[in-house]
Structure 1
Amino acid sequence: MLNVAMISKWHVHAEGYAKHLQSLGSVDITAVWDEDIERGRTWAAELGAAFHSDLDALLLRDDVDAVVINAPTSRHAEVMIAAANAGKHIFTEKSMALTVAECDQISAAVQKAGVKFCISFPARTRPHHLLAKQLVDDGLLGAITLLRIRNGHDGALNNWLPEYWYDEKQAGGGAMMDLGCHPMYLASWLLGQPKRITSMFNYFTGRAVEDNAQCSIEFANHAVALLETSLVTYLTPPAFELYGTEGTLIISGDNVKFASKHADSPLQGWISPRQLPKEQPLPLTQWVNGLLNDGPMPFGLEDGTKLTELLETAYIAHRERRTVDFKLPGGK
């Protein structure tokens, strides 16, 4: 049995994570910490767990092997470093932190303590995106020229997100910092090293953080990614388009179409679900299984840091209204 503490209910996914852990049958939620004491006490009572207003006291508990972090993004570094120093394994909601410097501090603490770390990248477990990765790796698309991903909902438009979601001091940003993480880490996974970025952020509902956003990224392999996210679009169909010199992959909802110059490719035209790669377990499930069975961790420190690098630089480009270059390996 794995004993887990829930670190804050701030993020909207926190309750779902707790329910998922309880459904596994191999996890016991023993404790809760929350920066909002009233919210934390209530949640702990619902979970049948102990509540601590002092994070250090919670991390001293012998019946806490690992923590699931849903604290405000601005507090991720503080909380994760404390957890690592206490010898607790870490699962965190995205993003890993607000800056690469904070990610480096987290990574150093995790590596020194020898604990295991996983960040929630659910889009990388889905059959459609696994197919895209397979096609890229197999060269059936040729050299990638353009990636376009759209991910949105109407949470800010119809006010079903908590109001603190728009507090820049807690969240670190708006639509791109949260929902935009998924297009960002998919682009990094598929296209590799980013070279330069521009951002266009909009404040449709007049809140302190952006609710409608787009980033254009050029990668070192000359591919361009157009990444769009929004909290003010009604019934937004997710879109994923991947274009190469020798093939094209279009994903719209559950519909998948592939065209390739490679006539011998078994995948041509509309692709049925049975032709897709098998869906992988959710990141939280993989993390639990890895801890219980001493297995590898998916979506680790390097993945989380790469996402934060994209996000941090995207916000610099927005604030300074310019194209920002990434530091390439070798200092170029």
Structure 2
Amino acid sequence: MAGALRIKRGKFCIFCKNFHYDLWKGGICSMKVAILGVWHVHAPGYTETALRLGEVVGIYDDNPQWRAEFAGRYNIREFTTVEELLCSDAEAVLVCAATNRHAELMIAAAEHGKHIFTEKVLALRVEDCLRVKEAVEKNGVRFVISFPWKCHPGPLALKRAVDEGLIGKVNYLRFRNCHSGSIDHWLPPHFYNAEECGGGAMIDLGAHGMYLTHWILGEPLTYASSFTHFCRDDKDAELNPSRLEDNAVTVMTFAGGAIAVNETGFVSQGCPEIFEIGGDRGYLTYTRNRAVYTAAGKAPVELELPASAKSPLACFLDGTPIEGCGIEEAIMLTKMMTGAYGNVKA
């Protein structure tokens, strides 16, 4: 394996808690992972990262054509059943299956002793999230969910400023994250499957704003959402017959009086990500790779951006501890989505 070194003495792996006498990368043993589903658009990227940092032993998906094409693309083994994958020598699974399959697959993986990395959201119902938590804890496996914005320089800079008290008590937060997937028709058709997805833009792209909101403000008290269906051309009618929302906003309130606004959608061209946090002593903004602090009567100050933190997947693969991407945060995201979808004004 490229980049691996053979060592003469055994070393302790912080991930699997064993001594190894074989191939290592950067002091961590090379983990064997299997790809459990390729439904999500991030499956190729995760697989390429796993091939670079570990070893991919194979792939399973419910769709025979998808799994055969994916296995051929990456020259990895094609498992024809979930059981075959779970009985393999894979130490962990990367879950990229349809969201409504997450709980069932993760519980089975945990019961087979496989560590779990998953695409968001964890599951569509809080009850299913709690079943996953029980299986993870009962079987002593590691769990990491993909919350990549917690590792980006901009949010890290704003979080540090908030924690240091730069803007005083937080009273407002806004996060806008959109793309053109619906109007340019590059999202795959199954992203409009209500049963598999559980919703449209908010439960997909809007997840990032939800977990960032919780990171800064904690659990909301109330939710009020406005969801619309904007793209209505002939192609959209074919792809999105359920008319899932492609333009969405959720407003949340918090115990201390703060308000958060999470904006997302699949119908925007050229819209930058925008992250704003206001307090009673100043205001923070991050957009177009610049973080700025402003206060009354003072000139704006550009904040230094830290380096990107290691991604959740990289931490999972090499055993690095990572905060804020665990089972409790995963459950909270589903709770927040339940609140957002339970209080929709069309």
TM-score by length of 2: 0.85
Correspondent of 1:269 among 277, 291, 300:
300
Structure 1: gaps of 5 or more residues: 323-332
- 1:224 and 1:113 map into 2 onto residues whose CA distance is 39
Give the corresponding residue for 1:176: 202
Figure out how many residues of one structure are paired with residues of the other and give that number: 308
Give the corresponding residue for 2:122: 96
**Contact 1:140–1:260 under 8 Å retained in 2:** no
**Contact 2:58–2:76 under 8 Å retained in 1:** yes
- 2:326 and 2:66 map into 1 onto residues whose CA distance is 30
Mean alpha-carbon deviation: is it higher for 155-164 or for 295-304?
295-304
Alignment of 1:136-155 (within 5 A): 136-155=162-181
- 1:282 and 1:72 map into 2 onto residues whose CA distance is 22
- 2:297 and 2:152 map into 1 onto residues whose CA distance is 25
- 1:253 and 1:101 map into 2 onto residues whose CA distance is 39
Deviations 1:212-264 (A, max 9, x none): 0000000122110011001011111111111100110011211221024799x
**Contact 2:312–2:322 under 8 Å retained in 1:** no
Give the corresponding residue for 1:327: none
- 1:20 and 1:116 map into 2 onto residues whose CA distance is 19
* 1:6 partner amino acid: I
* 2:219 maps to 1:193: yes
- 1:262 and 1:102 map into 2 onto residues whose CA distance is 51
Alignment of 1:12-27 (within 5 A): 12-24=41-53, 27=54
Give the corresponding residue for 1:225: 260
* 2:94 maps to 1:59: no
- 2:171 and 2:220 map into 1 onto residues whose CA distance is 14
Give the corresponding residue for 2:18: none
- 1:278 and 1:34 map into 2 onto residues whose CA distance is 36
Q: Following TM superposition, by how much is the alpha carbon of 1:30 offset from its aligned partner in structure 2, in angstroms?
A: 0.5
1:141/1:77 CA distance change after superposition, 3 Å: same
Give the corresponding residue for 2:105: 79
**Contact 1:116–1:297 under 8 Å retained in 2:** no
- 1:79 and 1:145 map into 2 onto residues whose CA distance is 40
**Contact 2:150–2:212 under 8 Å retained in 1:** yes
Give the corresponding residue for 2:140: 114
Structure 2: gaps of 5 or more residues: 1-29, 233-239
1:296/1:236 CA distance change after superposition, 3 Å: closer
**Contact 1:74–1:98 under 8 Å retained in 2:** yes
Deviations 1:163-201 (A, max 9, x none): 111000111111001100001100000001210000000
* 2:185 maps to 1:159: yes
TM-score by length of 1: 0.89
- 1:2 and 1:251 map into 2 onto residues whose CA distance is 36
- 1:221 and 1:103 map into 2 onto residues whose CA distance is 28
Q: Following TM superposition, by how much is the alpha carbon of 1:204 offset from its aligned partner in structure 2, in angstroms?
A: 1.3
Deviations 1:75-101 (A, max 9, x none): 110111111111000000011111111
Give the corresponding residue for 1:202: 228
3-state SS, counterpart of residue 310 of structure 2:
coil
- 1:217 and 1:34 map into 2 onto residues whose CA distance is 37
- 1:262 and 1:6 map into 2 onto residues whose CA distance is 54
Q: Following TM superposition, by how much is the alpha carbon of 1:297 offset from its aligned partner in structure 2, in angstroms?
A: 6.1
* 2:288 maps to 1:253: yes
* 2:126 partner amino acid: V
Give the corresponding residue for 1:326: none
- 1:176 and 1:43 map into 2 onto residues whose CA distance is 28
Give the corresponding residue for 2:272: 237
* 2:252 partner amino acid: I
**Contact 1:212–1:231 under 8 Å retained in 2:** yes
* 2:288 maps to 1:285: no
Amino-acid identity (%): 37
* 1:7 partner amino acid: L
